[in-house]
């Protein structure tokens, strides 16, 4: 059995040892980060919409957005979702972080105008 004084001395010794280890660990030089690709845009993690997910999307782990190539689901044309467009979608418009671009601008506009026409027709029918 140890007295209270001995226990306290042992606790303080362990604290000093841990503190010394932390100081040594802090002296290790940081790992160099590779340069960002041309055209990439930094991610502001705090502006993203909350998502109930255990993980993070690849762009958050990476720390920057990169241009993403995709094929339009309607007209099958090859398109590019730029890093700036992604930043706007995720951080300003608060889009779901696991969503990606699916349609080109022309197909999105056509789809939007079709929806507006349907809404106008429904409003006329209701009155």
pLDDT, residue 30, reads: 64
Question: Within a domain: residue 23?
Answer: no
Question: Within a domain: residue 55?
Answer: yes
Question: Within a domain: residue 93?
Answer: yes
Question: Within a domain: residue 16?
Answer: no
Domain encompassing residue 80: 41-126
What angle is formed at CA 104 by the lines to CA 98 and CA 106, rounded to 5 degrees?
140
| Per-residue tokens: 6 | 């001995």
Q: What is the residue-level pLDDT of the chain in tens, covering all 127 positions?
A: 789 999 999 999 999 999 999 888 888 676 666 778 888 999 999 999 988 888 889 999 999 999 999 999 999 999 999 999 999 999 999 999 999 999 999 999 999 988 767 666 555 555 5
Express each pLDDT in 27-42 by its tens digit: 867 666 677 888 899 9
Question: Within a domain: residue 33?
Answer: no
Q: SS3 letters for the chain?
A: CCCHHHHHHHHHHHHHHHHHHHHHHHCCCCCCCCCCCCCCEECCHHHCCCCCCCCCCHHHHHCEECCEEEECCCCCCEEEECHHHHHHHHHHCCCCCCCCCCCCHHHHHHHHHHHHHHHHHHHHHHC
pTM of the model: 0.64
| Per-residue tokens: 100 | 């990606």
Question: Within a domain: residue 57?
Answer: yes
Q: How many domains does the chain have?
A: 1
Looking at the DSSP bridge assignments, the partners of residue 78 are 71
């Amino acid at each position: 059995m140890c007295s209270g004084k001995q226990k306290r001395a042992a606790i303080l010794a362990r604290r000093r040892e841990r503190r010394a280890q932390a100081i040594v660990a802090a002296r290790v030089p940081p790992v160099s980060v590779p340069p960002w690709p041309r055209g990439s845009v930094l991610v502001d993690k705090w502006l993203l919409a909350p998502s109930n997910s255990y993980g993070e999307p690849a762009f958050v782990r990476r720390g920057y957005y990169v241009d993403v190539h995709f094929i339009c689901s309607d007209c099958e044309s090859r398109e590019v979702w730029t890093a700036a467009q992604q930043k706007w979608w995720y951080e300003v418009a608060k889009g779901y972080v696991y969503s990606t671009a699916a349609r080109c601008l022309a197909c999105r506009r056509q789809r939007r105008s079709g929806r507006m026409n349907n809404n106008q027709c429904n409003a006329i029918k209701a009155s």
